[in-house]
Amino acid sequence: MIKIVSGVNEITLQGEQSVATIRHQAAQILQLSGDEKAEVNGVEVTGEDIVHNGETLEFVKATGQKGATVKVTSGVNELNLDVVGDTVADVRESAGQILGLTSEHRAELNGEEADEDEVLEEGDELEFVKNTGTKGH
């Protein structure tokens, strides 16, 4: 697993990838401007460097404060995002690609089924759960 951090936002992903690939794939969900420097385990790296399982990649902004977050999960992937005030639908759209969400994933907010228009609050836990098939169907 690779831990990817930018400010209050955090993603945990599987698989080794280059810094440039991760930056491109995670730009929207991590709200990257492109001006951040990249560090792996506290050491500055370039886009060509590979991030390995067990390492932490952090995109460091020149300014910024940590704020209120919502924990968003789907399967083994976990994000801590600055999305307080956004709706479930907003998060589904912005995080859908990185979490691999499909129309088969239903949203649960704090352990209960959630409507797409529900507004997220500080400390909420939003999970996207894929329905599984039943035997014989």
Higher pLDDT, 13 or 107: 107
Domains within the chain, CATH numbers bracketed = 2-60 (3.10.20.30), 70-130 (3.10.20.30)
pTM passes above 0.75: no
The Cα–Cα gap between 38 and 31 comes to: 14
| pLDDT category of residue 66 using cuts at 50, 70 and 90 | very low
- pLDDT (tens digit per residue) in 35-54: 788 999 999 999 999 999 99
Strand, helix or coil at 91? helix
For residue 132, what is the DSSP state? P
C-alpha distances in angstroms, 18 versus 15, 45, 50, 72, 97? 10, 10, 4, 24, 18
| pLDDT category of residue 89 using cuts at 50, 70 and 90 | very high
Strand, helix or coil at 65? coil
